[in-house]
């Protein structure tokens, strides 16, 4: 998994899954699906992180990269 997401993104994905643990029926299955999507280039952690922040009452402000 770390080879797919990278060390930091793996930590973010696991943290987000733990935050939503009560709403996820199978954390292992969910993680496998996310890993498969990442391998196919169909997943990034950005939207997952933004959703987690919003769920915790944080209004993230995106800043354009320079």
Condensed to tens digits (0 to 9), the pLDDT of residues 26-52 reads: 999 999 999 999 999 999 999 999 999
Question: How far apart, in whole angstroms, are the C-alpha atoms of residue 66 and residue 25?
Answer: 40
pTM over 0.85: no
Would you state the pLDDT for residue 65? 77
Question: How far apart, in whole angstroms, are the C-alpha atoms of residue 5 and residue 42?
Answer: 12
Would you state the pLDDT for residue 2? 87
Please report, for residues 10, 20, 22, 25, 46, the alpha-carbon distance to residue 43 in angstroms, rounded to integers and kept in the order given. 12, 18, 22, 20, 9
For the chain, give every domain's residue range. 2-55
Q: Residue 22: pLDDT above 80? A: yes
More confident residue, 64 or 52: 52
């Amino acid at each position: 998994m770390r080879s797919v997401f990278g060390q930091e993104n793996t930590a973010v994905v696991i943290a987000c899954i733990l935050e939503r643990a009560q709403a996820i029926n199978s954390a292992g299955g969910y993680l496998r699906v996310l890993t498969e999507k990442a391998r196919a280039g169909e997943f990034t952690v950005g939207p997952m992180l933004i959703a987690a922040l919003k769920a915790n009452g944080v209004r993230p402000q995106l800043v354009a990269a320079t």
